[in-house]
Amino acid sequence: MKRPWNRVNLPIYSVSSKHNKEHNMHICTYVSAVSMSPKRMMVAIYKGTKTLELVTASNHFVLQLLSESQYNLVKLLGQSSGFKIDKIARLNKRKLIDNWKNYLVLKDALAYIELDTINTIDGGDHILHICDVSSFYNNLPGEPLTLNFLREKGIIRG
């Protein structure tokens, strides 16, 4: 049987981050709404990543809810480092990038949520960002990408 924290079928997000002229994207699953009024979310960003560097420098980012059709982006966005490869150039080459509120976003994401970090907490191997929701946009209908879908495709372990 799976460990208790692996029994929940979480949605898969991508963080789109930027600072000055640098942009990056990263996979994120540790995300939760934490307040209804004001609308706040917690996003845990893995330590040592280009995304954490950019988010820390700017305190603003976009959370993108991925669709099932985007499962093939997980290896690029989550299993490779923005310090070693230019993820944005690879996405641009595949014509997968759009622009929303001056952020580079994935065209086929289901939704975009603009976040402003108001506090951070060291969570171990992640830094937790407590964020106010500035705005959001429901981009497309469809089913969100989930951990179970990635397990079924053999992209992540059980």
Q: What is the CATH number of the domain that holds 55?
A: 2.30.110.10
Q: How many CA atoms lie within 13 A of 84 on its CB side?
A: 8
Q: Is residue 1 part of a domain?
A: no
How far apart are the C-alpha atoms of 22 and 139, rounded to whole Å? 24
pLDDT band, residue 157 (cuts 50/70/90)? confident
Tell me whether residue 94 is exposed, middle or buried, using C-beta atoms within 10 angstroms of its C-beta: 0 to 12, 13 to 18, 19 or more.
exposed
The pLDDT, as a whole number, for residue 6 is: 81
Q: Does the predicted model carry a pTM greater than 0.85?
A: yes
What average pLDDT does the chain have?
95
Q: Is residue 92 part of a domain?
A: yes
DSSP state of 101: T
State mean pLDDT over 18-46.
96
Give the CA-trace dihedral at 45, 46, 49, 54, to 10 degrees: 20
Q: Is residue 129 part of a domain?
A: yes
Three-state secondary-structure class, residue 143: coil
The pLDDT, as a whole number, for residue 80 is: 87
The pLDDT, as a whole number, for residue 2 is: 81
Task: Please tell me the total count of domains within the chain.
Answer: 1
pLDDT band, residue 158 (cuts 50/70/90)? low
pLDDT band, residue 24 (cuts 50/70/90)? very high
Res 124 pLDDT > 90: yes
> Taking the alpha carbons of 97, 99, 104, 110 in that order, is the dihedral positive or negative?
negative
Q: Is residue 46 part of a domain?
A: yes
Res 19 pLDDT > 70: yes
